[in-house]
A and B are shown apart, each in its own frame.
Chain A
Amino acid sequence: MKVEIFYSAGCTRCAAGLENLKAAAQQAVKQLEWREINVLEEIDYAVDLGVLTLPAIAVDGVLVFASLPNVRQFRDCLVRRIAKEG
């Protein structure tokens, strides 16, 4: 599973809680690809996915959070997707 975090460098909103989300993803997903993307470096890709606010999270190429969720919301989302994939 690929999890991509779109952030803006130096943004305090973006940095807050990111490590906790990463730890939750590492716990929930066996094969995790975690990418932290400075949106300025991949702006076309961000627009492709519909990212309009920062920070934002995409899972497997689909925008799922337009702002940082709490750890529980994030874990639930990942678990649901794993269950869906079977």
Chain B
Amino acid sequence: MFTIGKLAAQAGISTDALRYYEREGLIVPSGKTDSGYRLYNKDSIRRVQFIKHAQHCGFTLAEIVELLVLQRRDAACCGDVRSLALEKKLQLESKIRTMKLMSKALDALIESCANEFSPVDQCPILCALEQAALPERAH
């Protein structure tokens, strides 16, 4: 059994993060000491690794809860998990497009500033930001 500090050290996250995971229903201590301190077992380490891997793939904590629910549901199948992964990919692809558009908008602003020694009240970037709306996301 591990205390919260030991679990945090083993998993490479903070004790605050572990307490937050507990509040969000992602992890449950397997017991408590007589003094009321949380105790965790090896499954908790595996659970934290699961959460970290899922976060690296872009899943939010709420979505990770959904994955964990699917993991426990007898009627669920791989296709259901795959579907959540595909939805995450769609969201990421959409964000990438939006960010590329933002990057292009910045290209245009950077190009508009030919003289970096001009006084700031003549800064074409600041003027453009004040005057023009950035391009809307294409659908």
Contact = CB atoms under 8 A, between A and B. Distances in A.
Contacts of B76: 12
Contacts of A44: 93
Contacts of A51: 90
Contacts of B77: 10, 12
Interface residues of B, number: 16
A10 B79 contact: yes
Interface string A27-38: 000000000000
A23 interface: no
Contacts, number: 51
Contacts of A14: 83
A13 interface: yes
A52 B86 contact: no
A53 B85 CA distance: 10
Interface band, chain A: 20 to 34
Contacts of B22: none
Q: Identify the interface centre among B76, B87, B97: most chain A CB within 10 Å of its CB.
A: B87
A49 B139 contact: yes
Given A10-B78, A12-B77, A47-B97, A52 B83 contact: no
Interface in A17-72: 39-40, 43-44, 46-54
B66 to A, nearest CB: 12
Can you list the 4 inter-chain pairs with the closest CB atoms, starting with the nearest? A10-B79, A11-B83, A8-B83, A8-B86
25 contacts: A8-B87, A9-B79, A10-B77, A10-B80, A11-B79, A11-B82, A12-B76, A12-B77, A12-B79, A12-B80, A14-B83, A39-B86, A40-B86, A43-B93, A44-B93, A47-B90, A47-B94, A50-B94, A50-B139, A52-B91, A52-B94, A54-B83, A54-B86, A54-B87, A54-B90
